[in-house]
């Protein structure tokens, strides 16, 4: 299948680690020009070097998406280097505290929403004019199963992802006539560095193997992951690359779950 991504230009926010880096690598492997951004300069430099090994042209921009000036610089540097922006992957997201509702302060909600929602809004708002001018664009927002099937804890994170889903659907209706398709990808139980560290800690605390910790976590917290294993970041990236490609030309406003069946509803 020819995805026709060669020489397309993609911005991947939060592209220096985990799912974001996997998405950037997959796009680069298809010949796309890739711009990654993140807050940590060292991680960005390492990710850029790694992504360059698979192909495509890569630039890394240090940016805090809660800062409007950083967002404008991210977009201006992309256009300066590559002349246009064809694809935007709003992947950047944080979980600033793993706590229940009563333990969270209003400031915790505000800080998280600044990145998870307003960061995506800022970058999208800056990119849309270029896509409208070209009459072409793909916007993919990275959400989570928590948007549809929230846990009792981290309610601020769950709510931010639900808002992102709603934002995606609204944009999909607003800009389809301009040739801009907007979709959501919702991963669940993906083996990111964060999850791997959590499971390693759990294994050590219980004096069990890593694989046993994985299965215990699945049984207790994700019983509907029917494939009975964590997902790989590459599996999320494959879904994003498809939605970013010319082959997805009649897909708009969907929420594609990459969750091994974790969301129990239809």
Which helix (H) or strand (E) covers residue 61, if one does? Answer: strand 58-62
Cα distance between residue 166 and residue 161, in whole Å? 9
Cβ count within 10 A of residue 193: 11
Cα distance between residue 158 and residue 222, in whole Å? 15
Listed residue (82, 78, 93) closest to 15, CA to CA? 93
Which helix (H) or strand (E) covers residue 183, if one does? Answer: strand 180-187
Cα distance between residue 90 and residue 167, in whole Å? 12
157 part of the active site: yes
How many Cα atoms within 13 Å fall on the side-chain side of residue 3?
20
Cα distance between residue 102 and residue 156, in whole Å? 11
Catalytic residue among 130, 136, 157, 175: 157
Active site residues: 157
């Amino acid at each position: 299948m020819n995805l026709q991504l060669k020489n397309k230009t993609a911005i991947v926010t939060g592209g220096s680690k985990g799912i974001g880096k996997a998405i950037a690598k997959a796009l680069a492997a298809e010949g796309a020009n890739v711009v990654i951004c993140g807050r940590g300069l060292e991680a960005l430099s390492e990710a850029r070097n790694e992504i360059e090994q698979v192909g495509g042209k890569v630039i890394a921009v240090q940016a805090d998406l809660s800062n409007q000036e950083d967002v404008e610089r991210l977009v201006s540097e992309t256009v300066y280097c590559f002349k246009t922006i064809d694809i935007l992957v709003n992947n950047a997201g944080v979980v600033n505290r793993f706590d229940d509702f009563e333990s969270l302060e209003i400031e915790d909600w505000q800080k998280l929403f600044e990145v998870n929602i307003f960061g995506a809004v800022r970058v999208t708002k800056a990119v849309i004019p270029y896509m409208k001018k070209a009459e072409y664009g793909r916007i993919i927002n990275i959400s989570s199963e928590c948007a549809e099937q929230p846990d009792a804890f981290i309610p601020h994170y769950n709510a931010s992802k639900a808002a992102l889903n709603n934002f995606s659907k609204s944009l999909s209706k607003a800009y389809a006539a301009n040739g801009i398709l907007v979709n959501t990808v919702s991963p669940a139980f993906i083996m990111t560095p964060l999850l791997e560290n959590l499971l390693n800690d759990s294994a050590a605390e219980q004096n069990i193997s890593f694989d046993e910790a994985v299965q215990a976590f699945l049984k207790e917290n994700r019983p509907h992951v029917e494939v009975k294993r964590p997902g790989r970041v590459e599996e999320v990236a494959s879904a994003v690359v498809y939605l970013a490609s010319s082959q997805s030309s009649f897909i708009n406003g969907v929420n594609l779950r990459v969750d091994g069946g974790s969301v129990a509803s239809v």
